[in-house]
Amino acid sequence: MLMHSQTVCCSNLWPTLSVGHLMVGWLAKKAQNSRVYMCIKEVKWTLESADAIQRAMILALAQLLRGQMVKESNFPLQVLNRPLDYDRDELMQAYDGFEDIRNQNNQLLETTKKNMRRFGTNLPQFSIDHAVNVGKSVEFWMSTLGAGVCPERRDDVREIWSYLASSYSHLPEAIVALRKVEELTAEMTGSEDYEMFDLIDEDWLRFCRFFPEAFSRELRLD
């Protein structure tokens, strides 16, 4: 028999690895790739079917999230700017962080809907739509990181960015719509000083000019 144990030693120039360790690593990578593939597929499908205003709203929310991440947690902006320059482990660490945010957002939406039904009412559709757009704005950055994790999906991520770039001229309308969500949420919660977005519109528009260097050469801001 070639092997009598779980260890295979190829040579002194190659580390001694157990078959089990290799299999676990391969399965973990495959599972990560599946998560990234699915995220990119769903974001692309959402943007393909969305109108220009919804695309612009997702863009505005994504750029707002980017600023909050950098400001509040010292998140390295360069990993979003040039994801192809980072190794897989670094990208997956960032991906996992965004995924946690996405999952918390989805859980909060479902919990809120459930709690409101207990009181004999339903969460307003504007609030549901906003929560969905917030989730997609998070998945947008997950997809951007995914271009580095799975380079074979780079063209799909480039197409995702092109959809959002094509909505750039609709950002003023999108921000007006988001301010309306903020106003309706304040009315719903009975909090007159409720603030959902902590920057003025001019700064928000300027903030939205960020496009990753990895894709910006191929994009036009229409």
Which pLDDT tens digits describe the chain residue by residue (222 residues)?
Answer: 333 444 344 444 444 445 444 444 546 788 888 999 999 999 999 999 999 999 999 999 999 999 888 777 777 888 999 999 999 999 999 999 999 999 999 999 999 999 999 989 999 999 999 999 999 999 999 999 999 999 999 999 999 999 999 999 999 999 999 999 999 999 888 877 778 888 899 999 998 999 988 887 666 555
Q: How far apart are CA 38 and CA 31, in angstroms?
A: 11
In degrees, rounded to 5, the angle at the alpha carbon of residue 112 between the alpha carbons of residues 55 and 69 is 50
The whole-angstrom separation of Cα 108 and Cα 113 is 9
126 phi and psi angles, rounded to 5 deg: -60, -35
How far, in Å, CA of 148 to CA of 179, rounded?
34
Give the per-residue pLDDT at 21: 45
Q: Map tokens 């959902």 to a residue.
A: 196
Distance spanning both ends of the chain, measured CA to CA? 66
